Amino acid sequence: MLHWCCRRGFIKYFCFLFFTGHVDFVQVKSEPWDVSPDEGKQNYPDGEHCCTSCHEEFLTAASLKQHREKHHQNLRRKKYKCSNCPYSSEYKGNLHKHIKVHTGEKPYDCPSCGKGCTRSSYVCVHMSTHTGEKPYACSTCERAFISSSALRKHMEVHTAGRLYKCSNCGHAFSQLSLLQAHVRVHATEEPHKCPSCGKLFADAGSIRRHMRTHTGERPYECTACGKAFGLSSTLRTHMRIHTGERPYECTICGRTFSCSSHLHAHLRIHAGAKPYHCTSCTKAFPDSSKLRRHIRTHTGQKPYVCTTCEKAFSDSSQLKRHMRMHTGERPYMCTACGKGFAQTSNLHYHMRVACPLKS
């Protein structure tokens, strides 16, 4: 699959039309450069259905047709061209609005503070800074924004590391197989519907697996510890706890993870994104699990109970540390003298101060 990467940053576009639009915006504030379909192009494995206008590839002929009707039907009719940069439009009014970027004209003023804007729509967005209104809400984490462009940029947090995008609804996936399964939902005339929650599925196998979330059925059992799971994929991920396998690696810092969702959450830390907000205080977190742990500090909930002494904890890691008091397990070993410790903090103190073989 092809994509284009802006040479002034790391923004990727799977459509050449969108890439050139980005270039048009960037070079308004810098020197212009010529753009061809080979500029910034990078390759993914070739697909069967390729758009001849922008070289984006699709899984089905129907997806390709829908893409062309949506994005390329007016390409030859963009007769209104800017004399200052490569921007062009099929509408004269759009060109007039664009020209203001070069002239600095700002005819629309904010009635509250007098700030000038090039378009009336920009005034509406700016007014939200006075009113506090945020009409554009994220459907994934419910965070709200003052403009649609800010929402689109935020959505990149949820799609980080997801290279395969559905051309019908825009949903993104980290694996091609997941996208192919999703596309069948659009292609199927009568998709399978869950009677409990109404969710749609493309085939009977998918809905059977989903129904286990309602029935509690767990047919896949771990041979190492006996824990059972509703999906074979969840069992495979769990088995990595026993094998130590961590196949997902962060390309930024090299840290590895046992499942892809943990890698995606980790990538948000590098990006500085914290889309999960606590409704009780101002704190925000990069993933939902950290938010859930934090919420327990407000509710006082302690769902993790020691089976030996019945002491309860708000976090599973706290329970694991506590259980070592009963089992005597000391998994953290000093590399110098071989002494074991139940907690890493005790090991670090020992290695700094108390180890008799410390160099």
Determine the Cα–Cα distance for residues 109 and 96; give it in Å rounded to an integer: 18
Q: Across residues 197-219, what is the average pLDDT?
A: 79
pLDDT value of position 43: 41
Q: Across residues 190-200, what is the average pLDDT?
A: 75
Cβ atoms 201, 186 nearer than 8 A: no
Domain parsing of the chain, residue ranges: 1-73, 218-301, 304-354
pLDDT value of position 309: 92
pLDDT class of 160 with cuts at 50, 70, 90: low
The third-level CATH classification (topology) of the domain covering 218-301 is Double Stranded RNA Binding Domain (3.30.160)
pLDDT value of position 2: 45
- CATH assignment, 304-354: 3.30.160.60
Q: Which long-range contacts (CB under 8 A, 24 or more apart) does 106-114 make?
A: none
* 338 phi-psi bin (left φ>0, alpha ψ -120 to 50, beta other): left
Distances (CA, A) of 79 to 33, 95, 165, 258: 20, 10, 31, 53
Q: Which runs of E-coded beta strand occur in 155-281?
A: 164-165, 172-173, 192-193, 200-201, 220-221, 228-229, 248-249, 256-257, 276-277
Q: Name the least confident of 100-104, 190-194, 241-245.
A: 190-194
pLDDT value of position 109: 80
What's the whole-number average pLDDT of the chain? Answer: 73
Whether 218-301 and 304-354 share one fold: the answer is yes
pLDDT-above-70 percentage for the chain? 70
